[in-house]
Amino acid sequence: MKFTNGFWLMKRNIDPIFAVEYQDHKYAGGKLTVYMATNHIADRGNILNRPMLTAVFTAPAPNIIRVELIHFAGAYERGPAFELYEEPDKSGFVRFEETADTLTFTSGETSAVIDRRPENWSVHFERGGKLLTETSYRNMACMQDRDTGKSYMVEQLLLDVGECVYGFGERYTAFVKNGQEIDIWNEDGGTASQQTYKNIPFYLSSKGYGVFVDDPRDIHFEVGSEKVERIQFSIEAQKMAYCVIGGADAKDTLRIYTGLTGRPALPPAWSFGLWLTTSFTTSYDEETVTGFIQGMADRNIPLHTFHFDAFWMKGYEWCNFEWDKETFPEPRQMLKRLKERGLHICVWFNPYIAQKSKLFDEGLEHGYFVKKTDGSVWQTDLWQAGMALVDFTNPEAKKWYLDCLRRLLDDGVDCFKTDFGERIPVKDIVWYDGSDPVKMHNYYTYLYNEAVFGLLEEYRGKNEAALFARSATVGGQKFPIHWGGDCSATYGSMAESLRGGLSLSLCGFGFWSHDISGFEQTAPADIYKRWCQFGLFSSHSRLHGSTSYRVPWLFDEEACDVLRDLVNLKCRLMPYLYEQAVIAHEEGIPMMRAMFLEFPDDPTCLYLDRQYMLGDSILVAPVFSDTGEVTFYVPDGNWTDLFTGEAVEGGRWYRKTYDYFHFPVLVRENSVIVFGNNDQRPDYDYAKGAEIRVYHPQEGMEKEIFIPSPDGEKKFPVKVSCKDGEVSVQAPDDPLIRVSIIW
């Protein structure tokens, strides 16, 4: 939201209350409270008839400084609030110092330095004495709108020369967010608009620090788009809290941020295989489904999860959680037959109950739906006729909803696609627990996915739960997997899907997918094959569409060969991929990484959004052209083409043309990648018969990796060193394990 008319003037209806100078402070119990005059206090009379702002500095964890900016402290605040994981004992990392001119509040190695001098209000956020960002002249404020009577808390943090800003959730706009206006408000807008399903009020800077605005409401960001040297954020409120996170680098900042907001659960190994769906509005029954599965088997294309989309239930009755008996008369027996083929089963649903569903009357009778202020149930015809919204703030409603899902798990379903969760009303709405409707708009998806994921963990056990979720807010990364929503069958949409995924990953989401070949429309064979390359080199890989099927032989026979080769390769790469998954789970570092995250000192990598790192060792540059031509950048060092074994010189750009069986997938020097001996499935004994490949070991190399077991345990350490040109590999004592050195 913009409040100014140029740099000097305010909009005609805006009365600003700016922090002007330090007035007083108090420090106790690890909390620093600073009082700020909003005008220069030259004499006693200057304190009269003037507002004051208050800033409270605390430290939830080392290297996090939380600032709560307050106008009226007595303003009533309802929940919900983000679930955060704070360090209970702060005595070991919080320090406070004061001099005549400054106050310094320190968390770990990160400090807020407050200027006490008259008319010099500023807070410098530093790590080890190096400036991260700051707030100063006409930045920290409360803005009052005379026309509406609304008040907005506002902060404007420094956007430094050459600094790039990333994140804010899954955003399909330009990858570098400088110059953009961003509203943190979940919407069902597809992948071709500024709207998005996953809005996260967190941004990551190319300088290595991050900023998290700790509020579920609709936050408005102006990233150099109002004051071009400032990142502004504002909320309609009397209070606002934000955290400056000062990691040693961007990776470390993500570790700290996910330590605060939660790290991803580890998805089961089987979920990394190939998923195939019925598609959305296509006609299908058991014969159709079996035909798809048999067709994949006939072509020797490994398939690991089959997904039933919306019409497994009768139309107009979403959700009743009952199989359409006309199409699937014996669902339990059908699922048994499918599982005997070695498949896992996923089914679709959403948190809405249509009026025609038999569950509607039950939910209406017991008060399980979100209500309006007049006591009636909120309903809409948008999506399903007369649908109501399950109120997950009501414990009984949550139990009722999950009991419906238990029956599906008993039938043999393994996981769920938790679709929707963005169309949450705010006007004249009453929640069971009294939650603030505006805060609940984004937060609803957290309650929805938390409930379903918790049920799966209860049924399947640790590291066996998996969702395919669309909407998310802060903390949603704890409930993987997420996919990118409704994309189209074009190269442009494929590229925007990648931008969205990379932006989301920079907000701590470790596992991410997309609809291979696009959800809307039907791709030509060219795009299908290129999207398969991108999709199988993503953390999770799903073939899904809207009005047409996505089995490869409907595109051309070569698509079958391309898909088969890619699935085989991904299965062989599972020891490496699952190692990276464990890292995402334990450290919060995503599997799919923006280039700058791995190469923060390479200025070229700051702007790259058509390539990425898959884990810490593999560079992937999908093809976005029907000519097969791709332009990509290779950072400094020695690299190896994963497909051909050819050496690739780093520190330069390339423009090459590729067939459908190759594209730029490069391994960086000093990498240790374990290839498994199974190219048919993603879950197997990764150490048995494995090949350990050491790529371009450099003198002085010391590296330790691990070969995980399919349950995520780090069972088999591998140590590699290079000294005097000799490479030493310490690996599990298994004669079947081979070692290859690629120079």
Longest dimension (CA), the chain: 88
User: What CA–CA distance (Å, rounded) separates 503 from 512?
Assistant: 11
Cβ-in-10-Å burial (0-12, 13-18, 19+) of 553 comes to middle
404 located within any domain: no
User: Could you tell me if 599 and 547 lie in one domain?
Assistant: no
In a domain, 402, yes or no: no
Is residue 61 one of the residues assigned to a domain?
Answer: yes
Same domain membership, residue 449 and residue 535: yes
256 & 274 share domain: no
pLDDT number for residue 336: 97
DSSP 122-167: -EEEEETTEEEEEE-TTTSEEEEETTT--EEEEEEEE--TT--EEE
d(CA 284, CA 261): 41
- What is the rounded average pLDDT of the residues 386-408? 98
Give the mean model confidence (pLDDT) for residues 33-40: 96
pLDDT (tens digit per residue) in 39-68: 999 999 999 999 999 999 999 999 999 999
Domain range for 623 = 592-742
**Residue 734's pLDDT band (boundaries 50, 70, 90)?**
confident
Assess if residue 578 is contained within a domain. Answer: no
Closest to 450 in 3D by CA, of 82, 56, 6: 82
Residue 334, pLDDT above cutoff 90: yes
pLDDT digits (tens, 9 = 90+) for 458-489: 999 888 999 999 999 999 999 999 999 999 99
Mean pLDDT across the chain, nearest whole number? Answer: 97
Q: Are residues 241 and 344 both part of a single domain?
A: no
Provide the residue type at 23 as one letter: Q
Mean pLDDT confidence for 323-344: 97
- To the nearest 10°, report the CA torsion of 558, 561, 564, 565: -120
CB 289 within 8 A of CB 277: no
| pLDDT at residue 491, as a whole number | 98
Do 504 and 642 sit in the same domain of this protein?
no
Does the pLDDT value for residue 130 go beyond 90? yes
Helix (H, G, I), strand (E, B) or coil at 334: helix
CATH number of the domain bearing residue 728: 2.60.40.1180
Q: Are residues 256 and 143 in the same domain?
A: yes
Residues 555, 703 within the same domain: no
Domain boundary among 208, 241, 261: 261
Residue 110, CB half-sphere, CA atoms under 13 Å: how many?
29
**What's the CATH number where 45 sits?**
2.60.40.1760
pLDDT of residue 346: 98
What pLDDT, on the 0 to 100 scale, is given for residue 324? 97
Residue 382 domain flag: no
Residue 733 pLDDT exceeds 90: no
516 sits in which H/E element? strand 515-516
104-109 contacts, C-beta under 8 A, 24 or more apart = 105/32, 105/57, 105/59, 105/65, 107/59, 107/61, 107/62, 107/63, 107/64, 107/65, 108/59, 108/62, 108/63, 108/246, 109/62, 109/63, 109/246
Contact indicator for 500, 493 with CB cutoff of 8 Å: no
Query: Which residue is listed with tokens 């938390």?
Result: 450
464 within domain boundaries? yes
pLDDT at 265: 98
Rounded CA-CA distance 494/513 in Å is 12
List, in order, residues 6 or more apart from 315 with CB less than 8 Å away: none
- Banded pLDDT at 715 (limits 50, 70, 90): confident
In-domain check, residue 520:
yes
> Which CATH number is 289's domain given?
3.20.20.80
**Do 503 and 622 have their domain in common?**
no
Q: What is the pLDDT of residues 337-362, one digit of tens each?
A: 999 999 999 999 999 999 999 999 99
pLDDT tens-place string over residues 662-693 = 999 999 999 999 999 999 999 999 999 999 99
Q: What's the number of domains the chain is made of?
A: 3
The rounded percent of the chain whose pLDDT value lies above 70 is 100
The answer to whether 141 touches 18, Cβ cutoff 8 Å, is yes
Last residue of a domain, one of 504, 538, 572: 572
Q: What is the pLDDT of residue 711?
A: 87
Q: In this structure, are 555 and 628 located in the same domain? A: no
Amino acid 487: pLDDT: 97
Residue that terminates a domain, selected from 261, 280, 304:
261
Q: CA 364, CA 157: separation in Å to the nearest integer?
A: 48
Q: Is 680 domain-assigned? A: yes
Q: Are residues 276 and 142 in the same domain?
A: no
Would you name the residues annotated as active-site residues?
419, 422, 486
Contact predicate 254/508, CB 8 Å? yes
Tell me the pLDDT tens digit for each residue of 605-661: 999 999 999 999 999 999 999 999 999 999 999 999 999 999 999 999 999 999 999
The pLDDT tens digits of the residues spanning 155-211 come to: 999 999 999 999 999 999 999 999 999 999 999 999 999 999 999 999 999 999 999
For residues 117 and 53, membership in a common domain is answered with yes
What is the pLDDT at residue 27? 98
Confidence (pLDDT) at 735: 79
- pLDDT per residue over 252-311, tens digit each? 999 999 999 999 999 999 999 999 999 999 999 999 999 999 999 999 999 999 999 999
pLDDT band at 14 (very low <50, low <70, confident <90, very high): very high
Mean pLDDT on 106-131 = 97
Beta-bridged to residue 152, according to DSSP, are: 143, 236
User: Does 47 share its domain with 143?
Assistant: yes
